[in-house]
Amino acid sequence: MKFQTRPSALFFMASLLCAFVALGGCEAPLVLDAVEKAQKSPIRRTDNFQAVSSFQQNIVAVGSSGIILVSQDNGAAWQRHEIPSWPSFMDVTSCSNGLFAALAFEGEVWVSNDSGATWSMNKLATEEAPQAIQCDPSNNLWVVGSFSTISISRDAGNSWTVSSRDEDVIYTDIQFFDEQTAYIAGEFGAFLKTTDAGASWELLPPMPGEFYPQSMYFEDLDKGWVAGLGGVVLETTDGGRAWKRQSTGSLVTLYTLVKSAGHIFVTGGEGALFRYDGAGWMQIHHGQPFRLYLRGIQPLPEHKLIVAGPAGVLHVFSIKELLGQTGAPVAYNGP
């Protein structure tokens, strides 16, 4: 018995054979324009920003994997720096003399004396994990961290003096008011005050519930706020000797407190941004698709705010438009 192949089947088999033979030559060329454009952009979706600071018109944002972004025009344009050793930057501060200092989890402090154009690294003099960095009014750098460590540098990070209360407590934030007075907040509700430029620290009554603060902001020596887990903010009106619990109406972790244009703001998980109106906290519906947390926030000139977070979030808002005071939609002035 003979099997006869139909012409249509022969044509199909021949076409299929041709496709296998010429596969390499028949494949459509890859379009890499979008990839190349993304690689040339100073801000990328893979960037995980943790903190932002500013001095005059200069802004510095830092993130994991050694990323430092610098703007010298209030966020209109950005320059990208990638530190080859990939330090995990977690905080950044600016000094009144124009110095920027970025803190890395690896116990490194990277400083810039030229508005962020170049950076140099200095090691901390402790193996304890750092948590936050602050520049005081005398341009000294302070770093707080695990095991109740407090480090100070009076020479822009070149050398450090370290002290500790020898307690297994993580200090999470520090804020100076003048050359002599500062507060430190930490886990288990720890709260400390110095009135002699850090020569000694008074341990104040602990915050209630062993509160774990992520950030604090005091507008004067008496009135301030600390923010932390579960959408909770604590307020004090007597310099940290007594605290009142406040709720944002959300359970997200709260990260960074700032004051700008007469308003207190705090960033949080799930892209949340909250404002204190004098009576309580209200979530701001900023209109941006921030699905992950917002960690960094910094006031800018002309009543603007910059917020920073993962997935390349680095956005500048007009506060008036953000709060709907002009009737205009939420502004986005970032890159």
Query: Tens digit of pLDDT for each residue in 306-335?
Result: 999 999 999 999 998 888 864 444 333 333
Lowest mean pLDDT among 1-5, 160-164, 204-208, 211-215: 1-5
> If pLDDT is split at 50, 70 and 90, which confidence band does 125 have?
very high
Q: What is the pLDDT of residue 27?
A: 52
Q: What is the pLDDT of residue 15?
A: 54
b/e code 304-333 from CB counts within 10 Å (16+ = b): bbbbbbbebbbbbbbbbbbbeeeeeebbeb
Q: Residues 120-131: what's their mean pLDDT?
A: 98
Percent of the chain with pLDDT over 70: 85
> If pLDDT is split at 50, 70 and 90, which confidence band does 277 have?
confident
What CATH code is carried by the domain that includes residue 232?
2.130.10.10
Whether the pLDDT of residue 294 is over 90: the answer is: yes
Q: Residues 276-285: what's their mean pLDDT?
A: 90
Q: What is the pLDDT of residue 307?
A: 96
Q: Residues 275-290: what's their mean pLDDT?
A: 91
> If pLDDT is split at 50, 70 and 90, which confidence band does 243 have?
very high
Q: Residues 33-49: what's their mean pLDDT?
A: 76
Q: Residues 26-40: what's their mean pLDDT?
A: 55
Average pLDDT of the residues of the chain: 88
Q: What is the pLDDT of residue 323?
A: 86
Close Cβ partners of 116 (under 8 Å, ≥ 6 residues apart): 58, 60, 68, 70, 72, 79, 81, 100
Q: Residues 185-203: what's their mean pLDDT?
A: 97
Whether the pLDDT of residue 2 is over 50: the answer is: no
Please indicate, yes or no, if residue 4 is contained in any of the structural domains. Answer: no
Q: Residue 92 belongs to what domain range? A: 49-322
Report which of residues 209 and 19 the model is more confident about: 209
pLDDT digits (tens, 9 = 90+) for 62-85: 999 999 999 999 999 999 999 999
Whether the pLDDT of residue 123 is over 60: the answer is: yes
b/e code 135-152 from CB counts within 10 Å (16+ = b): bbeeebbbbbbbbbbbbb
Q: What is the pLDDT of residue 279?
A: 85
Q: Structural domain tally of the chain? A: 1
Please indicate, yes or no, if residue 178 is contained in any of the structural domains. Answer: yes
Q: What is the pLDDT of residue 325?
A: 61
Percent of the chain with pLDDT over 90: 80
Q: What is the pLDDT of residue 40?
A: 72
Please indicate, yes or no, if residue 214 is contained in any of the structural domains. Answer: yes
Please indicate, yes or no, if residue 330 is contained in any of the structural domains. Answer: no
Whether the pLDDT of residue 207 is over 70: the answer is: yes
Please indicate, yes or no, if residue 118 is contained in any of the structural domains. Answer: yes
- The residue with tokens 């939420």 is 330
Please indicate, yes or no, if residue 42 is contained in any of the structural domains. Answer: no
Q: What is the pLDDT of residue 324?
A: 82
Q: Residues 203-225: what's their mean pLDDT?
A: 96
Q: Residues 135-161: what's their mean pLDDT?
A: 98
Please indicate, yes or no, if residue 9 is contained in any of the structural domains. Answer: no
